[in-house]
Structure 1
């Protein structure tokens, strides 16, 4: 919950925390950068220890990092907190993917939607409640409240009934490069990894700059609600879309195929961003809502596609780890790229359109690869 809160509040509170605005992108990317290494570590940890100990560790670490966000100890302490959260998230996410790739092909999309819907419920509550609390009670009090809610996961983790850990006699030496080899051997796996990178690159740019974009574009008529509240509500739409729309979109993709579904969603995202940068007021907000809903479906469907493709490898967790690393690379680069243009918001608007167009082109390429390679087609009939 604390991680999601930072995307709406940190750009607004950075100066008061003694953090230069130009370094906000670094902080929002730090948890993604560390995951370029920790995803493989999480994969191997699950092989060796099973799920119980990694999940307990990640639950405790997530609460500690949230508390650190509110201490006001400066850039370095905040950076350590972001790195700590990156380690925890590698564990949380990998555990969820382990469950999905073992499911039948005709329900992978729906299961991925349910998985991310549950994860995003906490994110939606965090940014929505956090935005309201921030506008009324300030930053430190808001972070403390969110940390208390985050701590509820610890007793729940301790009480869960875990499967018995399987004994692993010998595990082959592995790295992120091993996962890269799995990806490069197959055209569909190669392009779904590229697609995952570009999709999250776009989302990372948009989510990291949404509050500043709204502040620059909305008129005084919206000031009564507060930019923090509006940004929180908008980001809550993105996160809650995983809860309310992702299972439905996942089910549709199980029927018509992941690649055609993603092509439709990428087109919606591109058209929605055209509307967002050209319109004002309510029309702007509605355009972004459409983008976030389509982005939710794009993310879930892409992850379901990657999960299905992973099952064709003899060590599927390595490809999943690499795919996670690819999307984390996009998420890490997104805020850095966006905040490098922070002094020229018009540049960010052009970037919105350029990256949305790139996403559409890459999705079209993945759809074409799937169409030309029937054996790789991901659909309900596989």
Structure 2
């Protein structure tokens, strides 16, 4: 790239387009966990529908990463955005068509394919245009682009669905998804340096290096508890405990609390990445925010008021957000440029396994044993992730707290 100005322009273009796709995705999230009430289907099937996008992304992540390393970032990014727009319209069809479960499942599967292309390219773009001193900040800003759009969408989705119905909410999601698609087409340049051609694009052609697997397992734990547990059970938790805010019922209130969580996450994505750049080491920042996620789930397990629930959501949001930027920056530090697309694919695969299994496990477990045991068990996963982080970093660099320059020197 041509300098700092070019870097900021590219990052800004990605943030703008991912903001609008995040808004479109946020609109539907307060509604989907409540499909059991809307459609009269079992909690297990609701969990499968919620997780379908992550399972389709499992197959799409590795090919998406390889495509990025083969043909660049712009084309996969734009195509992924348009696929997500089409998937959003699938929710509208699902509400009015026969066999709504099948339509919701198809829409979620398509959304997963589109998001695999978007995430593989977005993080690779950030790595392409950044250096050691700015990679954490850039990664945090890119990830925050989605999350700053999502909370607005969550609040609006919860309110619009309650006042005007689910069709109106899904139409709104579709409109903003296509706005994001056209912004991406008009503004995203090509950033990735072309590398040697690969023989084929296979779902199993993934990066199994120590950095990719270490970062991927941490992503697994964080997304399991964040999306797979908190977001999937929040509306049910509010309903059972008769907690609400601003006069809304459980569905509307869940959108507000999700928004609070994600706004905090978005802020700390930038701050976490920025702090890790300043400290020239990612590990202390990552361990701190993983610990904060642990605290948040302990508070959630004992939440019996709006105040306690809000504090829990703030801690969980800060922990998830503060982990995201430095985690992706650490992957960029340890991964050669020519392999970054595949490394991001590996990270996304493991993250999607966590986020995909989460609802399937948490919803039936909550139904069987209640919220508190599930939340307390979830609090242990960030601590396990911190141990995996230390072990993986030591295996790669020979140090528990390596500096960025030492990390880059350990590449192979």
Same fold (TM over 0.5): yes
Q: Does 1:163 align with 2:190?
A: yes
Alpha-carbon distance in structure 2 between the residues aligned to 1:161 and 1:205: 34
Out of 233, 237, 257, the residue aligned to residue 234 of structure 1 is: 257
Q: Does 1:139 align with 2:174?
A: no
Q: Does 1:359 align with 2:382?
A: yes
Alpha-carbon distance in structure 2 between the residues aligned to 1:218 and 1:262: 35
User: What is residue 247 of structure 1 aligned with on the other side?
Assistant: 270
Out of 32, 56, 62, the residue aligned to residue 84 of structure 2 is: 62
Q: Does 1:331 align with 2:344?
A: no
User: What is residue 299 of structure 1 aligned with on the other side?
Assistant: 324
Cα distance, 1:91 vs structure 2: 1.0
1:307-326 equivalent positions in 2, closer than 5 A: 307-311=332-336, 315-326=339-350
Give yes or no for contact 2:298–2:379 (8 Å, CA) kept in 1: no
How many residue pairs end up in the alignment? 375
Alpha-carbon distance in structure 2 between the residues aligned to 1:145 and 1:205: 26
**SS of structure 2 residue aligned to 1:8:** coil
Query: How big is the alpha-carbon RMSD for the aligned residues of Structure 1 and Structure 2?
Result: 2.6
Deviations 1:86-135 (A, max 9, x none): 01101111111112333222222111111111121221121011111122
Alpha-carbon distance in structure 2 between the residues aligned to 1:292 and 1:165: 31
Give yes or no for contact 1:29–1:335 (8 Å, CA) kept in 2: yes
Cα distance, 1:301 vs structure 2: 2.3
**SS of structure 2 residue aligned to 1:245:** helix
Alpha-carbon distance in structure 2 between the residues aligned to 1:173 and 1:268: 42
User: What is residue 121 of structure 1 aligned with on the other side?
Assistant: 148
Q: Does 1:108 align with 2:108?
A: no
User: What is residue 297 of structure 2 aligned with on the other side?
Assistant: 273
Cα distance, 1:161 vs structure 2: 5.5
Q: Does 1:283 align with 2:283?
A: no
Q: 1:376 to 1:266 in 2, by over 3 A?
A: closer
Give yes or no for contact 1:176–1:321 (8 Å, CA) kept in 2: no
For structure 1, the 5+ residue unaligned runs are none
Q: Does 1:224 align with 2:247?
A: yes
For normalisation by structure 1, the TM-score amounts to 0.89
Out of 102, 117, 137, the residue aligned to residue 76 of structure 1 is: 102
**SS of structure 2 residue aligned to 1:60:** helix
Cα distance, 1:31 vs structure 2: 0.5
Cα distance, 1:262 vs structure 2: 1.7
User: What is residue 27 of structure 1 aligned with on the other side?
Assistant: 49
For structure 2, the 5+ residue unaligned runs are 1-22, 407-412
Give yes or no for contact 1:192–1:306 (8 Å, CA) kept in 2: yes
Deviations 1:314-356 (A, max 9, x none): 523222211111111111111111122242362x431222232
Cα distance, 1:175 vs structure 2: 4.1
1:28-43 equivalent positions in 2, closer than 5 A: 28-43=50-65
Q: 1:8 to 1:172 in 2, by over 3 A?
A: same
User: What is residue 89 of structure 1 aligned with on the other side?
Assistant: 115
